[in-house]
Amino acid sequence: MAVTTTRRQTSARILTAFALTAGLALAAPQSAAAARDDAGFSAKAGVTGGAVAVHAEAWAAGRAKYGRTVTAAQAIDAFWTPERMRAAKPIEESPEYARAMAMGDVAAKTAAPQAATDARKPTVIPPYEGALGTPKGDGASTLAVNPNFASSHPTARTSGKAFFVLGGLSYQCSGTVVNSAGADTVWTAGHCIHSGAGGQAASSWAFVPAYDDDLANPRPYGTWSAVSIWTMNAWINSSASAEDMGVAIMGTLNGNHIVSYLGGQGLWTFAGTQNLQNAFGYPAQAPFDGGNLLRCSGWSSQEYANVWTETIKIPCNFNKGASGGGWLLNWDGNWGLVNGINSRVDQLPNPTIVASPYFDQTALDLYDFTKNM
């Protein structure tokens, strides 16, 4: 897999006025009294999102650690201690997730039968190796395996766990750093951004690259806080499983943009439905504990044989906690092209497949909308 070595582009950022204003406000020192505890979302071009809210408990933790002039990023960092990270429940255990999956599944299965189309020319965004580079020089498994990557491994440091608050409770998901002009994007599932139809946006959203609970420090590259989060209108309005994808725009940490420092995986849209995929994530239900990055490999196919629902599946036993982890196409052991995300499974416990939205124009629209942020 060839990787680009182009530095972060300095082109003008393309944001809605709302997101720009809120993002700047989050980056500047502010008191908890001045902070909003709910994020207003703006919609444009099929994508909905806005500034990340910081909930009251995080502001309190931030003031205790950093003082009255605590910033939003500091508040999120202070709240997400290793103990809170370990205690966070997989998003699949939330009542909002169960409701959203049920709505999306019914809608998908009652859709009019149609044929899958792969006629569009694929769009490929290459990976970027970042300041840490690629180290100099396994077989596929449909069961989750621990690749035992060092935290400096490109796949490990561009994968990680997302932590956020929803309905007053702490949850966890998985995510992937993706190359972009703005150098700040983390891709995950839409339900790790917003709970879907009739639901709400997540708050105090953080990402820990290369999370590894076996290490004395489970967050070797620190805790990165999101300044805005984005998902598709159809996910928020109707919990559409074909649009269960989301992007978090991360703030800088120690002056570094997450892609510029750690690198970012590429992206591939319109690749077709049948490909060898390598899925990554942090399953947390027994026999797994959510402490390590795991991998499944298998050939993808359309989810339902007799109806095209714009979703694909792979054989895999990932369970709760793996939501949002990336599927890497053309993975060379270090770098690949995100071509799906862990959205849902066929059954719990003992799942046999993991499903993802098919990355077509929807994924390309989300990428184009957020790439310069």
3-state secondary structure of 186: strand
Position 140 scores a pLDDT of: 59
Give the model's pLDDT for residue 339. Answer: 97
Task: Compute the distance between CA of residue 206 and CA of residue 322 in angstroms, rounded to an integer.
Answer: 16
Are 338 and 267 in contact, with CB atoms under 8 Å apart? yes
| Residue 22 reports pLDDT greater than 70 | no
What is the reported pLDDT for 104? 65
Q: Which helix (H) or strand (E) holds 308?
A: strand 307-315
Angle made by CA atoms 54, 57, 60, in degrees to the nearest 5: 95
Residue 165 lies in a domain: yes
pLDDT above 70 for 332: yes
Give the list of residues 6+ apart from residue 85 with CB closer than 8 angstroms, or none. Answer: 161, 163, 172, 208, 211, 218, 219
Look at residues 262, 246, 225 and name the one whose alpha carbon lies nearest to residue 27.
225
Query: Mean pLDDT across the stretch 14-40?
Result: 27
Helices (H), 67-153: 72-79, 82-87, 95-109
Confidence check: pLDDT of 26 > 70: no
Give the least confident one: 134-138, 152-156, 273-277: 134-138
Residue 246 lies in a domain: yes
- For residue 267, the model assigns a pLDDT of 97
pLDDT given for residue 226 in this prediction: 98
**pLDDT, position 28:** 22
pLDDT value of residue 290? 87
Lowest mean pLDDT among 59-68, 88-97, 101-110, 332-341: 101-110
Q: What's the mean pLDDT in 244-270?
A: 97
153 in any annotated domain: yes
Which CATH number is 281's domain given? 2.40.10.120
Does 140 fall in a domain? yes
pLDDT tens for 200-224 read: 999 999 999 999 999 888 999 999 9
- With 50 as the cut, is the pLDDT of residue 176 above it? yes
Give the model confidence (pLDDT) of 94-142 as tens digits.
888 888 888 866 555 544 444 445 556 788 899 999 988 886 644 556 6
What does pLDDT average to over the chain? 84
Distances (CA, A) of 54 to 35, 74, 118, 126, 207: 8, 10, 41, 33, 14
pLDDT at 179 over 90: yes
Neighbours of 56 (CB within 10 A): 15
Low-confidence winner among 128-137, 275-284, 292-301 (lowest mean pLDDT): 128-137
Domain assignment present for 32:
no
Span 188-205, average pLDDT? 95
> Is 25 a domain residue?
no
pLDDT at 44: 59
Higher pLDDT, 15 or 197: 197
- The pLDDT assigned to 33 comes to 30
Query: 322 to each of 192, 239, 299, 335, how far by Cα in Å?
Result: 11, 19, 18, 19
Q: Identify the domain containing residue 134 by its residue range.
A: 50-110+118-370
Specify if 151 maps to a domain: yes
* pLDDT at res. 30: 22
Dist. CA 253–CA 224, nearest whole Å: 6
Average pLDDT, integer, range 195-199 = 92
With a cut of 90, say whether residue 257 has pLDDT above it: yes
**Mean pLDDT for the stretch of residues 261-280:** 96
- Please identify which residue in the block is written with the tokens 């060839």: 2
pLDDT of residue 196 exceeding 50, the answer is yes
pLDDT band at 87 (very low <50, low <70, confident <90, very high): very high
Query: What is the Cα–Cα distance from 276 to 329, expressed in whole angstroms?
Result: 7
Output phi, psi for 166, to 5 deg: -145, 125
What mean pLDDT comes out for the span 41-70?
88
**Collapsing DSSP states into helix, strand and coil, what is residue 341?**
strand
Task: Answer yes or no: is 261 within a domain.
Answer: yes
Q: How many domains does the chain have?
A: 1
> Can you give the pTM of this predicted structure?
0.85
